[in-house]
């Protein structure tokens, strides 16, 4: 496996990827323009974030190219008869944009799907085509398993022909075809099977809302289906004659059904696929909490909506739970995942694509001393969004939660929420690689790396957490535009908060526009805050306490890895902070510091973990009531949210009220 980062510029060449395992990225997304083509014949290759102005076919994936991915590429120009993506094989083509609205070429095609007899399955998801003569064209289906080609959530607009070709051997669902002059899909005409394609309105060529997403209504009566391992063969799912495997109880589930799984050990790998409404969910639950045990088993949710799974115990089960393609509004709760030392760890994976609005709650996930997997792993770059993880306890993993794998020059939106969790004894607690994630009210402690790392992606809200005794540090930030607010960060190795672009330099945007507001940082080993390599930080209204009067609380640069082109970290604004036991850099007028306080903050009992303020603390109402020029804080709940008291407030985890 190798990663090739391409510097900004225009490349006039045709590229052939014949080797296996190459990841081809730009330094910054879309800063690389290919005036040629890329042809992929090798296995396990990824092409992401490139812009194409091509004469013939921009990207070709040959039938031999299995396990290859095309992600977030942009094709803006083709010559007459040109094709944006020509797919004979691969794995995933997702998030690509073929925008030919400003292109003068004729007879162009956005996507060509050509599943030959030896082609591997391909998932074509969330691609957009505009301005071509034909949006999606399917030709010569001779694939041994053509239905494994899955075409979902794509958008085709402003094309003469939206879709052309026979679709009877493809899974073609949830696609949006609009402002096109027509379709040419043989006997299927406009309506292409259940949940297949939007209808076209003759007058405006617009779609009818939700024409392809009709879910079945709940029947007047619901059923309870029973499963019990060790039961006799030939059961009918009643309490008297239960099924003896979960797999036997899953086919033909109806809205509102409840599946009760009895105690005992099951060794099954099952898939649930059912679309039901929120008011009639399907519930699959252990008869008693953790009594039904799946050993080296798995449960996959695929093309499902409103499935609730409750109370199971998984042992030595990699991919114990997988949120697969189009798993929506599903809930996994009250799980216990355990691992064995000589087996891979039990994990929960959000694989997708398009797994959205799912919940994981009240789960205990225990790894082992090997720590080579993630407790919860969420694949980014696959439109997996709006995951909510709450009240989970995870230990013994590489990362308790990781949103993504590998290194990326871009980070897609996630809109995830991680709250009220405890992550400890992992290499890292939370490792984020997606834009827009909230991590709040979590307890991140005693991890061998950092409590929380933002590797790439902007606009993270890190709020109300208790982060302590992590060996390498509390919070590590490598990307821009985050708010760190109302956290208690103490006794971490190295720095409480580290902002640096070292990991991945120079391929990512540096950590700029970061606001650190109303936190309590107490006796972190080396520095409370450290700025490295182009970091630009503002911090206000914090309490910052060090270990020694002669050691710096804030350091602008402390690395021997600084590159020749690099700049040291800079302070954008630092004011109204309380410092104690340590030195602080002198600030220029535009950096602030005029209203800082240097004194003991009078915390109740920080040695015992109580960071409340005593009633006579100088941090209380430290900002004058008539002060009106303090700049507003991004993400504030209201224009008036400019707290007069310094440090982490009552809503921070472990800090509930002022104490006398």
Residue 346 in any domain: the answer is yes
Please check whether residue 341 is in contact with residue 368, taking contact to mean a CB–CB distance below 8 angstroms. Answer: yes
Q: Determine, yes or no, domain membership for 326.
A: yes
**Of 188, 211, 233, the domain-final residue:** 188
Looking up residue 286, the CATH number of its domain turns out to be 2.160.20.10
Per-residue confidence band for 461, with pLDDT thresholds at 50, 70 and 90: very high
pLDDT score of 386? 93
Residue 198 within a domain: no
Co-location of 381 and 481 in the same domain: no
The verdict on 592 and 619 lying in the same domain is yes
Average of per-residue pLDDT values in the chain: 84
Asked whether the beta carbons of 482 and 515 are under 8 A apart, the reply is: yes
Residue 201 lies in a domain: no
Same-domain check for residues 36 and 166: yes
* 328-347: average pLDDT: 91
pLDDT of residue 635: 47
Q: Mind listing the pLDDT tens digit for each residue in 63-76?
A: 888 889 998 899 99
pLDDT tens, position by position, 82-129 = 999 999 888 889 989 999 999 988 999 999 998 866 556 788 999 999
Query: Does residue 155 lie in a domain region?
Result: yes
pLDDT at 469: 97
How are beta strands 603-605 and 610-613 bridged, if at all? antiparallel
Tell me the whole-structure pTM to 2 decimals: 0.86
> Is residue 417 located within the same domain as residue 374?
no
Instruction: Please tell me the distance from the alpha carbon of residue 439 to that of residue 416, in angstroms, as a whole number.
Output: 8
Q: What is the mean pLDDT of residues 275-281?
A: 89
The larger pLDDT score, comparing residue 148 to residue 375, is at: 375
* Predicted local distance difference test score (pLDDT) of residue 197: 39
**Given this model, what pLDDT does residue 213 score?**
46
Residue 38 belongs to domain spanning: 2-188
Could you tell me the strand order of the sheet in which 399-403 lies? 269-272, 298-301, 321-324, 348-352, 374-378, 399-403, 428-432, 450-454, 473-477, 495-499, 527-531, 554-555
In a domain, 193, yes or no: no
If asked whether residues 108 and 230 sit together in one domain, one would say no
Q: What pLDDT does residue 116 have?
A: 67
Task: State the virtual CA torsion across 445, 392, 398, 386 in degrees, nearest 10.
Answer: -120
Question: What is the percentage of the chain residues whose pLDDT exceeds 70?
Answer: 83
Among 231-235, 509-513, 614-618, which stretch is predicted with the lowest mean pLDDT?
Answer: 509-513
pLDDT on residue 203: 36
Residue 154 shares a structural domain with residue 286: no
pLDDT at 573 over 90: no
In the chain, % of residues over pLDDT 90: 53
Q: How far apart are CA 452 and CA 436, in angstroms?
A: 15
Query: Tens digits of per-residue pLDDT, 189-213?
Result: 333 333 333 433 333 333 343 444 4
- Among 166-170, 402-406, 505-509, 601-605, name the most confident range: 601-605
Question: Are both 389 and 473 inside the same structural domain?
Answer: no
The reply to whether 600 and 461 lie within a common domain is yes
pLDDT at 535: 86
Check whether residue 381 and residue 435 sit in a common domain.
no
| Structural domain ending residue among the three candidates 368, 397, 426 | 397
> pLDDT: is 181 or 203 the higher one?
181
Averaged pLDDT for residues 159-173: 81
Q: Provide mean pLDDT across the span 546-562.
A: 77
What secondary structure does DSSP assign to 449-492, as a single string?
SEEEEE-S-S-EEEES-EEE--SSEEEEE-SS--EEES-EEES-
Q: Which residue has the higher pLDDT, 286 or 345?
A: 286
Confidence of residue 510 (pLDDT cuts 50, 70, 90): confident
Q: What is the mean pLDDT of residues 456-464?
A: 90
Give the Å distances, CA to CA, from 48 to 72, 82, 132, 422. Answer: 6, 20, 22, 34
- The confidence score (pLDDT) of residue 615 equals 93
Quick one: pLDDT at residue 29? 63
Mark whether 539 and 521 lie in a shared domain.
yes
Give the pLDDT of residue 594: 86
Split into its structural domains, the chain has a count of: 3
CA angle 88, 94, 95 (to 5 degrees): 135
User: What is residue 507's predicted lDDT score, i.e. its pLDDT?
Assistant: 54
Token code pair at residue 3: 């990663």
Q: What is the mean pLDDT of residues 597-622?
A: 94
Residue 195 lies in a domain: no
242 with 151, same domain: the answer is no
Predicted confidence band at 595 (pLDDT cuts at 50, 70, 90)?
confident
Give the mean pLDDT of 162-189: 72
Q: What is the pLDDT at residue 66?
A: 85
382 with 418, same domain?
no
Query: Token pair for residue 70?
Result: 């095309």
Question: What average pLDDT score do residues 604-629 get?
Answer: 87
Greater confidence (17 vs 2) lies with 17
pLDDT value, residue 570: 79
Q: Which of 140, 171, 188 is the last residue of a domain?
A: 188
| 205 lies in some domain | no
- Measure the CA angle with vertex 484, ends 478 and 490; round to 5°: 95
Average pLDDT over residues 151-161: 88
Residue that has been written with the tokens 């080296």 in this structure: 296
What are 381-427's pLDDT values in tens digits?
788 899 999 999 999 999 999 987 655 556 778 899 999 999 999 99
């Amino acid at each position: 496996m190798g990663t090739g980062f391409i510097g900004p510029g225009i490349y006039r060449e045709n590229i052939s990827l014949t080797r296996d395992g190459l990841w081809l990225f730009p330094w910054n997304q879309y800063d690389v323009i290919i005036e040629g083509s890329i042809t992929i014949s090798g296995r396990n290759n990824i092409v992401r974030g490139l812009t194409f102005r091509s004469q013939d076919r921009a990207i070709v994936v040959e039938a031999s190219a299995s396990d290859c991915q095309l992600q977030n590429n942009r094709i803006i120009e083709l010559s007459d008869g040109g094709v944006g993506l020509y797919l004979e094989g691969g794995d995933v083509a997702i998030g690509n944009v073929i925008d030919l609205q400003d292109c003068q070429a004729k007879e162009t095609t956005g996507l060509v799907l050509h599943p030959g007899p030896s082609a591997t399955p391909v998932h074509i998801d969330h691609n957009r085509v505009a301005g071509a003569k034909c949006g999606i064209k399917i030709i010569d289906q001779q694939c041994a398993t053509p239905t494994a080609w899955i075409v979902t959530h794509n958008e085709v607009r402003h094309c003469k022909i939206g879709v052309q070709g026979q679709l009877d051997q493809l899974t073609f669902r949830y696609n949006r075809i609009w402002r096109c002059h027509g379709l040419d899909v043989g006997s299927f005409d406009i309506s292409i099977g259940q949940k297949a394609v939007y209808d076209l309105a003759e007058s405006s060529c617009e779609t009818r809302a939700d024409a392809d997403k009709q879910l079945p209504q709940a029947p007047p009566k619901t059923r309870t289906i029973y499963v019990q391992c060790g039961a006799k063969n030939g059961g009918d799912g009643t309490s008297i004659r239960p099924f003896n495997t979960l797999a036997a109880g899953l086919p033909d589930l109806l809205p509102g059904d409840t599946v009760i799984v009895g105690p005992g050990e099951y060794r099954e790998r099952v898939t649930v696929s059912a679309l039901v409404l929120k008011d009639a969910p399907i519930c699959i639950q252990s008869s008693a909490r953790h009594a039904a045990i799946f050993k080296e088993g798995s449960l996959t949710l695929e093309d499902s909506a409103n499935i609730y799974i409750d109370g199971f115990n998984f042992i030595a089960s990699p991919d114990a739970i997988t949120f697969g393609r189009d798993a929506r509004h599903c809930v996994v709760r009250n799980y216990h995942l355990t691992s064995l030392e000589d087996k891979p760890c039990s994990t929960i994976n959000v694989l997708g694509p398009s797994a959205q609005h799912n919940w994981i709650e009240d789960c205990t996930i225990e790894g082992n001393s090997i720590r080579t997997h993630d407790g919860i792993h969420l694949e980014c770059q696959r439109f997996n969004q709006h995951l909510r993880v709450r009240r989970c306890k995870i230990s013994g993993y590489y990362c308790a939660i990781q949103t993504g794998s590998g290194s990326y020059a871009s980070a897609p939106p996630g809109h995830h929420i991680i709250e009220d969790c405890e992550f400890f004894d992992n290499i890292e607690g939370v490792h984020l690689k997606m834009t827009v994630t909230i991590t709040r009210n979590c307890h991140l402690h005693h991890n061998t790396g950092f409590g929380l790392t933002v590797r790439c992606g902007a606009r993270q809200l890190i709020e109300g957490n208790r982060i302590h005794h992590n060996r390498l540090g509390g919070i590590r930030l490598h990307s821009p535009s985050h708010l760190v607010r109302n956290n208690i960060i103490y006794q971490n190795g190295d720095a409480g908060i580290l902002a640096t672009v070292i990991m991945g330099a120079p391929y990512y945007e540096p950590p700029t526009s970061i606001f650190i507001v109303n936190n309590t940082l107490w006796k972190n080993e080396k520095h409370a805050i450290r700025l490295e390599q182009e970091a630009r930080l503002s911090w206000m209204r914090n309490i910052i306490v060090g270990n020694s009067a002669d050691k710096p609380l804030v350091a602008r640069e402390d690395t021997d890895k600084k590159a020749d082109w690099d700049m040291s970290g800079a302070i954008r604004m630092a004011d109204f902070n309380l410092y104690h036991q340590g030195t602080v850099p002198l600030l220029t007028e535009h950096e602030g510091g005029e209203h800082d306080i240097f004194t003991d903050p009078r915390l109740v009992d920080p040695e015992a973990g109580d960071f409340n303020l005593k009633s006579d603390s100088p941090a209380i109402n430290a900002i004058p009531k008539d002060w009106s020029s303090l700049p507003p804080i991004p993400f504030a709940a209201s224009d008036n949210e400019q707290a007069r008291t310094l440090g982490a407030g009552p809503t921070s985890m472990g800090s509930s009220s002022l104490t006398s």
